[in-house]
A and B are shown apart, each in its own frame.
Chain A
Amino acid sequence: MLTLDRISCVGEAIRDAIVTFKTNTALIEADRHRENGRWTYRELRQDAERFGALLQSDGFAPGDRCAIVMQNQAKWVVSGLGAFWVGAVLVPIDYKLTVPEQLTLLGHCKPKVLVTEYSTWVKMMREDLAPLSGTKVLVTEAPQGADLGSAQRWETETSEAFSLQYRSRQDVACIVYSSGTSGTPKGCMLTHDNYLTQAQVLGRMYPIAEDERFFSILPTNHAIDFMLGFVMPLMMGASVLHQRSLRPQFIRSSLKQYEVTHLAVVPTILKNLEKRVRERLDDLEDGPRKAVDAAIKANDFLTARKPNHTLSRWLLKPIHDELGGKLKSVFAGGTFVDRKLVEFFYELGIPVAIGYGLTEATTVISVNDLEPFRSTTVGKPVDGVDVEIRNANDEGVGEVWVHGPTVMKGYLDAPELTQEAIVDGWLRTGDLGSLDVSGHLTLRGRAKNMIVTEGGKNIHPEDIESVFDDLPGCEELCVFAANYIWPTGTMTGEQLVVVLRPDTDADMEAMVQELVARNRKLPDFKRVSGYIVRQDDFPATASLKVKRGMLADELRTLERADAIVALDV
């Protein structure tokens, strides 16, 4: 049982675990079928302290910020832990962003130290590094003799003695960006209390035993992996596996080779695992197939009220072996998970816990406790978190508001955005939902103009508009999430559309041609799927800023199918 009441910060909780679980394996880093290294808790402590001392050797003080831009790997955790132990505020930055996007966020949070890999640093050095003025850069995995410019090697040894620095529960532990690579950055300030409260609640619901293993597939900068693949397993003495290559075959082989017990996924990975299992089932001859089908039915009946991993594994051993044989639970963000997919895995005795969360609420707001398994909702609010449905319509659908100890302190240096997001201590999620009589939350769409991709990326349409600036013949344009204009009652099938107001003498064909060309330069998840032509001026404020809400209201009077001209994306 994870008890963190007397703990003051994340670093202290993990240090306590290190004292208890010294000889347990803490980290394993694999690269394809190779193993790069293993760390016991004792070795993790030594490496994290070395890194902490390196930070302190250059005057790093409690409250200073340490940003990390790294792929999923053991040094992410070593750096993060070492930084926590010298009192740092961690700033995990998405390594999959483009370098200019990363620099925008780094320029916003102005970290004292940036930790990154050589492959990223080489790309950064080609850009204007003004956002990093005053930031010391520590680069790992640089080849011998490589030119690092102003940066220093992460591996540098120091004679500085390490000095442990704990923080209080109310201090900011992390600044996590939920959006804003081209708009106003939204850096969520999350306190140690936020994390410790969340870890305690989730640790009680989904305990990870010290002999169990979490497979860190999502990037560690991602809120879910940060909690489930870094903070929680290390507080409970379990081990964390990192795989440098996230190609499907290496994910599958790692599940087997390292006997993974827990993992968190995005739907695309779950679909891939499903495909593989289905292929195996299809390969079976008639007789064995009938036996497996009967075992699936028996398992479904026997675990209807509660998962029973031992029983399911006994009944369906060949299928479980395909996924390593030890897999006990899978965590998935519920917003986009296909219910049939989740049911498929549950029937095989591999429960998929569907949850709902926002970075602004640390990680998880609600999660299905699997007792009994329900695939149609995103579960009940976790202990200590209150959820209310505000401004509900006749069907009980309204905006989801959240209150509790996991709600962030606010956005970094953005008091206006914070005031919009947190009203009287309640976090406005911008998502639409309803609560049933048993308190389960069902998501019904979005009240805000944004989409979230299946890979878990938040896309704010405003951030994409600059790509279409100065489109020939276009007077004004505005990008929307189509489901924001025309609510569908679901969170699936989200797409972006651009509203165009052409000049009176515009060449529409040329405009659309240019639109398509620029659209194709965007990553596929940021592309608009259609356009809407509007002849009237966009409603605007006195300072000529488009009133998006009013424009959406006006567009809503049109039929969606008639209004949108599909683009070949």
Chain B
Amino acid sequence: MIKISRRDVLKTAGTIGGALLAPGLPLWSLAEAAPREKAPAGFVNVSSALLGIDAGVLNPAIRPDDISMADVFYGLTVLAGPRSIANLLAAYDVMENQHLRPDQIAQALLVSGNGPNTSLNGAFSRLITLMWLYGTWYGHTEITNIPTSASGIAADYQKDFVISSRAYKSGWIWRVAQTHPMGFSQFSFGSWASAPPSLADYGITLA
């Protein structure tokens, strides 16, 4: 059983935390903290199915500072709901073994009738999707929309918080919108006057 504490979140996700700072270190140094969990292939694959983005694009072999956002996000789900994430990955394995297509898996995990899947598999599927999109843990949003999800999310994680500045800057919503995170542009002067890079340039396809 993994002991869950807010401090573990800080270590895992690199979120701001004065108690962890060595004197004189700037706050942003925390964003460089290495994740302690390595994401299993199933986590990356279920993320890929939910988002419609290739696993190798979501979790490239070569990444800045060798920090994998998949590892960061997986570590957070383990702290927030170890049983919930284990169950989701087991359900994913079953569907993969049934040779369901990724879009079918996403449908099964996210949708129930005309609305959202209210099971804990649905909850963690949404939380994972939102982490990749926004770099934010949406525990409060989840239980506000679907109160029964609270049973699968540890108390410390029933809140919304930006996971780290690295997670914010890595948010896929910006690439899907063919732009950059607000406040973190790697484009140059005048780039806004012409069309942005295509989705393909980000490794995203819509078909």
Chain B binds chain A: no
Q: Which residues of A contact B (CB under 8 A)?
A: none
